[in-house]
Homo-oligomer: A and B are copies of this chain.
Amino acid sequence: MAKTLIFGHKNPDTDTICSALAYADLKVKLGEDAEPARLGEVNKETQFALDYFKAEAPQLIEKVEDGAEVILVDHNEFQQSVENINQAKITEVIDHHRVSNFETKEPLFFRAEPVGCTATILNKMYKEKNVEVSKEIAGLLLSAIISDSLLLKSPTCTEEDVNAARELAEIAGVNLEEYGLDMLQAGADLSDKSALELVTMDAKEFTMGNAKVEIAQVNAVDTETVYAIQPELEKEINKIVDDKDLDLFLFVVTDILNNDSEVLALGEGKGKVESAYHVTLSDKNRALLKGVVSRKKQIVTVLTEEFSK
């Protein structure tokens, strides 16, 4: 029988990659037949973490076979998952997002908790199963928490995440603040990215009310540098809006030093951004969202409510 594949969402981020690697490690140590996979390119931030802790990126997969046993980490919404997911046998989900557009034919093991990062749940699971977290795995789990919490500053970050991060930094043998800032800055180096890469590298699609919305987010040290190529960004986004028949595409550039986001909104539903955040989009279709850094907690929930009105 084929091994159970463990993977996170499309356009993988550090939590998705590191949680797949860690959960496969835990499963193997428990004597189960599992292996990690990924659904897209490893980004620079994640590559920095993998290099630092001498880990290999998991295999790239594009689709799964009918009936294949799979475990989802860090996501549950089918449109964010692998091709053919609705024909796979999902045996487990470990996640920290809302539950939506997900269903199974049979009972499964589903564990979602409202914490800042999947890695925080996995760190708990190692303890529950009495399996020691190795230095390498500690480094990967820590990297995931730093990434999802923007170095513990995001409103999604809970006390559990903070405690897990401190504990894991100790095992990994790194200084949390120093390592964290180095990792985030490696990810915020966007100098070699094309406009198309910028708007797709961390894009996720959502159904909100009756609307189809895509939200892409990049971290930057200086948001203006990203918008230096705004005409090209808009060209790519408009193409995506047309191709996918989206109501809204929101491009979010998050300033990792000031913890704000400068967003670009395109599509017929862009007025929803104005009403949801009480801002006015500039003639460049942009607005500064003060203190907004979390797509999940400060954007998806707010826009879902607005589109459901």
Binding site for B on A (CB under 8 A): 96-114, 296-297, 301, 304-305
Contacts and interface: CB of A to CB of B under 8 A. Distances in A.
In the complex, the 7 A-B pairs of residues with the closest C-beta atoms, listed nearest first: A110-B112, A107-B114, A100-B103, A98-B104, A105-B304, A106-B301, A105-B301
Contact of A110 (B103, B106, B107, B110): B110
Contacts of A105: 98, 301, 304-305
B108 A112 contact: yes
Most B CB atoms within 10 A — which of A99, A104, A109, A111? Answer: A99
A114 B96 CA distance: 20
A297 B105 CA distance: 10
11 contacts: A98-B103, A98-B107, A100-B104, A102-B102, A106-B301, A107-B113, A107-B114, A107-B296, A108-B114, A109-B112, A111-B111
Contacts of A106: 98, 114, 297, 301
A140 B205 CA distance: 44
A108 B98 contact: yes
Question: Chain B CB within 10 Å — which of A97, A98, A107, A305 has the most?
Answer: A107
A205 to B, nearest CB: 15
Given A99-B103, A105-B304, A107-B296, 5 more contacts: A96-B107, A99-B104, A110-B111, A110-B112, A111-B111
